[in-house]
Amino acid sequence: MDRFVQLHLLTFYPPSNLNRDDLGRPKTAIVGGFQRLRISSQSLKRAWRTSDFFQDALAGNMGVRTKEMGLKVFDDLKKRGIPEAKAKEWAKSVAGIFGKLKKEQKDAPLQDLEIEQLAHFCPEEMEAINELVERLGSAGNGPSRDDLDLIRKPKRAVDVALFGRMLAANPRFNIEAAVQVAHAFTVNQVTVEDDFFTAVDDLNNGEDDAGAAHMGETEFGSGLFYLYTCINREILSENLGGDAELTHRALAALTESAAKVSPTGKQNSFASRAYASFILAEKGSKQPRSLALAFLRPVKGNDLLGEAVGSLKSCRERMDKVYGKCAAACIEMNALTGEGSLEEITKFVKD
């Protein structure tokens, strides 16, 4: 089996604000001395794993990321007739296994049931917690030390297998991510623009006040984004307990999500949903490498996609010339010219 799969995607987004910074502006980066739009890897991964497509394709094999497991256990115990004081004490015992709990505050009496940092629970752990809650509700006795042996080494959680997890309180249950996702950036130079907008009051007839009921401003940008991701198929298979069928489903879901699923930021305002226009997939066992170098100099001209595809291919050929071939095999899909298909790319990645 070829150890690594590398995906290089070019996706055009019209005016949009897919991933915002702390001021609400589109995230940017200086690349090669020029401003580009940027989409963080965190934004991309969350969009993929929470998409309807990903959830449907991997139903029953997805984990849960939450700080509020203690609150869930508390509510479930109360529904089973456990007194509130006991339910809270037992819920803290369960949640505390997965991380340090917050301190109790007078104005938030249940805050000490929350874990300080997001914890990723695999299906095996969710099942163990649910079984324990059911036993506690039936027996009426608190959990023993053996009962609180709840942390499992995930074997069925595809999202954990792909993107990893860290449990600071129990590092031996950490999972190394099988996928590395770069921040996407535009191959073209961009200027973030302002959109001044107004809203009209439907019941204002304009006789006394013809002004707008609301005025606002939002910022946006547009460009052709380059996204690079690297998949270690050996780690993915190991994380999934050697289950070949589930590994293939995970690879297919990730590939299709990367090609089709857009981040959710400001979608109602811009409807900036897009599919990848070009995909280059490579696989082999040599040290992977990004082809971001192709866009150190911004792409210009009237044929942005054509120029970007040419730069990407040229960069790959020149790097292969000086380093030797990085991949044992590759395949392309170009939506603008109608060459290749996502089905062929997905089959290539899986096989």
55 membership: H or E segment, kind and range: helix 52-57
Going residue by residue through the chain, which has 351 residues, state the pLDDT in tens, using 9 for 90 and above.
Answer: 789 999 999 999 999 999 999 988 999 999 999 999 999 999 999 999 999 989 999 999 999 999 999 999 999 999 999 999 999 999 999 999 999 999 987 777 899 999 999 999 999 999 999 999 999 999 888 999 999 999 998 999 999 999 999 988 788 999 999 999 999 999 999 999 998 887 888 888 777 777 777 788 889 999 999 999 999 999 999 999 999 999 999 999 999 999 999 999 999 999 999 999 999 999 999 999 999 999 999 999 899 999 999 999 999 999 999 999 999 999 999 999 999 999 999 999 998
Q: Are 101 and 168 in contact (CB under 8 A)?
A: no
List the chain domain ranges.
Answer: 4-61+177-193+223-319+330-350, 65-156
Q: Would you say 250 and 58 are in contact if contact means Cβ atoms under 8 Å apart?
A: yes
Secondary structure E strands in the chain: 4-16, 28-31, 34-39, 64-66, 119-121, 179-181, 184-186, 193-199, 214-232, 278-284, 329-334
Task: Classify 60 in phi/psi space as left (phi over 0), alpha (psi -120 to 50) or beta.
Answer: left
Q: Compute the CA torsion angle 232, 252, 161, 126 (nearest 10 deg).
A: 180
Using CA atoms, how far apart are residues 329 and 326, in angstroms rounded to an integer?
A: 9
Q: How far apart are the first and last CA of the chain?
A: 9
DSSP-derived secondary structure letter, 115: B
DSSP state at residue 165: B
| 29-50 burial code (b ≥16 CB/10 A, e <16) | eebeeebbbbbbbebbbebbbe
How far is Cα 24 from Cα 171, in angstroms, rounded to an integer? 35
